[in-house]
Structure 1
């Protein structure tokens, strides 16, 4: 019965993770630790492995629809990977409480900005910068809702790379999913369409999670009896979530994302003040 419950909740986590580009860990880790009494390291290990399933399951739909921008993902992954390494190296020398307050405030600011633009379907008047033009970071995606092909450009490539470095460091230092930083950075700073931001984030977190999963396997933190229903549920949820995203308006998806960012910001600020 417990495995069935975990499987059911994992489907929900996979749907949310695929639609919002977060991987589902923001739901799974609290659920497993608080709801089922799973040790934190085991829960994080299962969540990390499941993120690979989320990314893989959703990638089938997103890549075929040209929704994931692989060029942007590869450009930004340099910042995320470097930031994650930095976070792991300096974790012992920085105050977790101060960092929680800092990143919580940053997320709260992002949540407010996203709330203000919640009705915007697509960015307008975006002029590509020199890096974007040279690397051809712009693209086209098929808007199933409107039934048209939507071209878009990318700007602020260097600031976006810097924010990816920060998101990677935050993930390494505070144990949170970097997707909650990646999507606002691509949406608000680099001016990608929101659906493209979530799909690209989904692609990126799979690459990042793959390296982390190896560490958990070597440590022996991966419990097969727990991880199996989690991964199967998340994979099924990701397949469903990717189909939902293709048929929803960007403004509606953004409205779903805002409370997730606000909740994460609240938790981080609360931890910093304790």
Structure 2
């Protein structure tokens, strides 16, 4: 493959990653890393570094649209980032003491349960009669946005603030231990435990993963893992895909987003379980 053809192939792959990542609140790394390592033959460190850059691009591109439409809830995002950041620090600290096989299998079980819970709620467009807990009420974890698919303004209130914070800690710990987690854990936690609308969950996840990825990308840059000829087309493609995905997401129904998320969670669960068995 010629250098020009390789760059175009990476660019098109990144557009797809940005499209999926912005719609589901993932960042696109779940597509970028396997594509760069398996299909294009790049080193794993180079792929992960490019993925970190891609997550920032996805978050930036999607955040503009989601913040403009008032779908992203920055108050909830900043509250949950406390748990996610502390979890990432803890995960990095205990990485050498916890058996990797146990972590893979535990992560697989959590993803499988999240997939089942989302599939069970696949026909639920919006949750009615959500009763906020005391902490959610005190922190004013609520909001409203205009849903273009339903043609009306949706008001919502969060619940389960403390369980949600604990799950963000677990998510951050897995990210620190395995380099995975991110949106595949954050979105189900907000959707299932805190009972937020799925659109709010994906938009808020997009905002959160960008904050986390900015720190990790700086580390990769200092180490020299960021290769401009790889990260450049990845960032450009992901940004274009994210802008398109953010326009599509606001016009989709929440039940459709859940159906799109379920096979992704199943894929991650199977992948983690296989790593746990064969490690």
Same-fold call, TM cutoff 0.5:
yes
Does residue 66 (structure 1) correspond to residue 50 (structure 2)? The answer is no
Does residue 137 (structure 1) correspond to residue 117 (structure 2)? The answer is no
Does residue 193 (structure 1) correspond to residue 197 (structure 2)? The answer is yes
Aligned equivalent of 2:162, options 142, 158, 172: 158
Alpha-carbon deviations, 1:202-234, whole Å to 9, x = none? 000000000000100010000000000000000
* 1:11-26 correspondence runs (5 A): 11-26=15-30
Instruction: State the partner residue of 2:265.
Output: 261
Runs of 4 or more consecutive aligned structure 1 residues displaced over 6 Å after TM superposition: none
In structure 1, C-alpha distance between the alignment counterparts of 2:257 and 2:110, rounded to whole Å: 21
**What is the Cα deviation at residue 177 of structure 1?**
3.7
* 1:213-232 correspondence runs (5 A): 213-232=217-236
Does residue 181 (structure 1) correspond to residue 189 (structure 2)? The answer is no
Aligned equivalent of 2:252, options 248, 254, 268: 248
In structure 1, C-alpha distance between the alignment counterparts of 2:131 and 2:156, rounded to whole Å: 9
Matched residue of 1:92: which SS? Answer: coil
In structure 2, C-alpha distance between the alignment counterparts of 1:34 and 1:113, rounded to whole Å: 31
When the two structures are superposed, what TM-score results if normalisation uses the length of structure 1? 0.99
Does residue 116 (structure 1) correspond to residue 120 (structure 2)? The answer is yes
- RMSD of the alignment, in Å? 0.6
Alpha-carbon deviations, 1:3-46, whole Å to 9, x = none? 00000010000000000000000001000000000100000000
Does residue 35 (structure 1) correspond to residue 26 (structure 2)? The answer is no
In structure 1, C-alpha distance between the alignment counterparts of 2:32 and 2:123, rounded to whole Å: 29
Instruction: State the partner residue of 2:89.
Output: 85
Instruction: State the partner residue of 2:60.
Output: 56
Contact 1:22 1:177 in 2 (8 A): no
Unaligned 5+ segments in structure 2 are none
Alpha-carbon deviations, 1:150-209, whole Å to 9, x = none? 000100000000000000000111111411000000000000000100000000000000
In structure 2, C-alpha distance between the alignment counterparts of 1:244 and 1:56, rounded to whole Å: 16
Matched residue of 2:27: which SS? Answer: coil
Contact 1:25 1:177 in 2 (8 A): no
In structure 2, C-alpha distance between the alignment counterparts of 1:259 and 1:48, rounded to whole Å: 23
Unaligned 5+ segments in structure 1 are none
In structure 2, C-alpha distance between the alignment counterparts of 1:27 and 1:199, rounded to whole Å: 19
Aligned equivalent of 2:106, options 79, 102, 105: 102
